[in-house]
């Protein structure tokens, strides 16, 4: 397929004279086009669901989620991966981002690396990729050689694979177990896929990591209960989370947190059930670290007694 035939490279007729527009008209046009992104993502929810369920299943077996891409796509993968430890208290190795050209490419464009198939294989070998892992390759155009090579190598290793692109029938989709295609249409600035395509990718990656972490018990209600209270601000947030979770005052929340060594999930479970730290820890381990499941189980046991 010729480059100009790709959805991400087509001319946007609405912006043909954007260089002659006033500032407010430029902004209105960009905003109008951006509003189409969420609608495009909505059309791909079934594809995203399949990918999330696959990722969750592999993680439950000890697998890691590896994002890999070049340019903007690679940077977005790194961004999503880097936010998982502070938000959900997971180890930094659980969700990783790899970009063509390495750390320098995060802030600087390194020409040519996106065309290297050998580099993708080398990068995945460096992290000791195994069949337990899940590789999610991100490429707006769906044709980046680096991204495709990474996906092919992952399949050869025996990994489950996910692809994310912004074109119909993307080349990369042919190689993934769970292809995701979010077609947002031509960019306001032709070929500038950091715009609508980048926004779509960010939205999908948010959905993937957030949904997986919810399923892994990192959220109670809509609260981040695996927050790591490593500084005063985060300790205050931990107190607030416990207060909201069990409808108590700060004094009670701090008491529970002190008893649980500032483990927010155990503190909440202790407050909900009246059980001690050890019983709550055991209940969480037996119920996939899910507070709702663990509390129901402990309450049922109380009734039986």
Residues with a catalytic annotation lie at 83, 114
Kind plus residue range of the DSSP H or E element containing 152: helix 145-157
Is 206 found in the same domain as 129? yes
Domain span at residue 223 reads 219-304
**Per-residue 3-state assignment (H helix, E strand, C coil) for 60-85:** HCCCCEEEEECHHHHHHHHHHHHHHH
> Same domain, yes or no, for 179 and 132?
yes
Mean pLDDT value across the chain = 94
Q: Are residues 62 and 7 in the same domain?
A: yes
Say if CB 265 and CB 225 are below 8 A apart: yes
> Do residue 110 and residue 24 come from a single domain?
yes
Helices (H), ranges, 178-223: 196-215
Q: How many domains in the chain?
A: 2
pLDDT of 69 > 60? The answer is yes
* Listed residues 157, 181, 215: the one ending a domain: 215
pLDDT for position 86: 87
Task: Identify the burial level of 205 via C-beta atoms within 10 angstroms of its C-beta, where 0-12 means exposed, 13-18 middle and 19 or more buried.
Answer: buried
Rounded mean pLDDT, 100-117: 90
End-of-domain residue from the set 157, 187, 215: 215
What tokens does 253 get?
A: 């929340």
Domain match, 243 and 184 both:
no
If you average pLDDT over residues 240-250, what whole number do you get? 95
- The burial of 127, by beta-carbon neighbours within 10 Å (0-12 exposed, 13-18 middle, 19 or more buried), is given as middle
Quick one: pLDDT at residue 234?
87
Distance (Å, rounded) from C-alpha 153 to C-alpha 97? Answer: 16
| Amino acid 167: pLDDT | 95
Q: At 169, phi and psi to the nearest 5?
A: 55, 45
Average pLDDT on 173-181 reads 97
Q: Are residues 15 and 93 in the same domain?
A: yes
Please report, for the domain that includes residue 235, its CATH number. 1.10.8.1080
pLDDT digits (tens, 9 = 90+) for 199-210: 999 999 999 999
pLDDT for residue 153: 97
**Is the model's pLDDT at 5 over the cut of 80?**
no
pLDDT of residue 228: 81
225 pLDDT more than 70? yes
Distance CA 155, CA 134 (A): 10
State residue 305's pLDDT score.
60
Instruction: Report yes or no: 114 and 145 within 8 Å, Cβ to Cβ.
Output: yes
Of 196, 215, 234, the position where a domain reaches its end is 215
How buried is residue 35: exposed, middle or buried, by Cβ count under 10 Å (0-12/13-18/19+)? exposed
How would residue 177 be classed by pLDDT, with cut points 50, 70 and 90? very high
- The answer to whether residues 155 and 98 belong to one domain is yes
Shared domain check, 205 and 244: no
Do 77 and 181 belong to one domain? yes
Residues 22 and 141 in one domain: yes
User: Over 70: is that where the pLDDT of 1 sits?
Assistant: no
Please determine, for residue 93, whether its predicted confidence score (pLDDT) is greater than 60. Answer: yes
Q: What CATH number does residue 72 fall under?
A: 3.40.50.10490
Answer yes or no: is pLDDT of 83 > 70: yes
Do 227 and 273 lie in one domain? The reply is yes
Q: What angle, 0 to 180 degrees and rounded to 10, lies between the N-to-C axes of helices 291-304 and 264-273? A: 30
Residue 183: its pLDDT value, please? 97
One domain for residues 200 and 276: no
Sign for the CA dihedral angle at 44, 50, 53, 59 comes to negative
User: Which pLDDT value is given to residue 9?
Assistant: 86
Give Dmax (Cα) for the chain. Answer: 77
pLDDT beyond 70 at 10:
yes
């Amino acid at each position: 397929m010729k480059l100009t035939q790709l959805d991400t490279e087509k001319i946007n007729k609405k912006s043909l004279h954007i260089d002659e527009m006033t500032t407010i008209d430029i902004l209105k046009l960009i905003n109008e086009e951006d509003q189409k992104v969420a609608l495009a993502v909505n059309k791909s929810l079934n594809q995203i669901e399949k990918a999330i369920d696959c990722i969750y299943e592999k993680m439950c077996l000890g697998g890691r989620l590896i994002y890999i891409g070049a340019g903007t796509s690679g940077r977005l993968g790194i961004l999503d991966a880097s936010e998982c430890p502070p938000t959900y208290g997971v180890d930094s190795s659980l969700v990783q981002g790899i970009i063509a050209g390495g750390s320098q490419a995060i802030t600087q464009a390194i020409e040519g690396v996106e065309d290297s198939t050998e580099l993708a294989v080398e990068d995945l070998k460096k992290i000791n990729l195994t069949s337990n892992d899940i590789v999610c390759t991100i490429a707006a155009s769906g044709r980046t050689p680096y991204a495709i090579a990474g996906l092919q190598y992952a399949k050869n290793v025996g990994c489950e694979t996910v692809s994310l692109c912004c074109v119909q029938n993307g080349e990369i989709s042919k190689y993934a177990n769970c292809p995701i295609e979010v077609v947002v249409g031509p960019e306001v600035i032709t070929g500038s896929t950091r715009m609508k395509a980048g926004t779509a990718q960010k939205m999908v990656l948010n959905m993937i990591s957030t949904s997986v972490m919810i399923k892994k018990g990192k959220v109670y209600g809509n609260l981040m209960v695996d927050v790591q209270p490593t500084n005063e601000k985060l300790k205050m947030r931990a107190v607030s989370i416990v207060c909201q979770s069990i409808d108590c005052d700060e004094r009670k929340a701090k008491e529970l947190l002190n008893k649980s060594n500032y483990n927010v999930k155990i503190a909440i479970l202790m407050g909900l059930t009246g059980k001690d730290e050890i019983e709550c820890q055991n209940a969480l381990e037996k119920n996939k670290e899910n507070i709702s499941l663990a509390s129901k189980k402990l309450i049922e046991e109380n009734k039986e007694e």
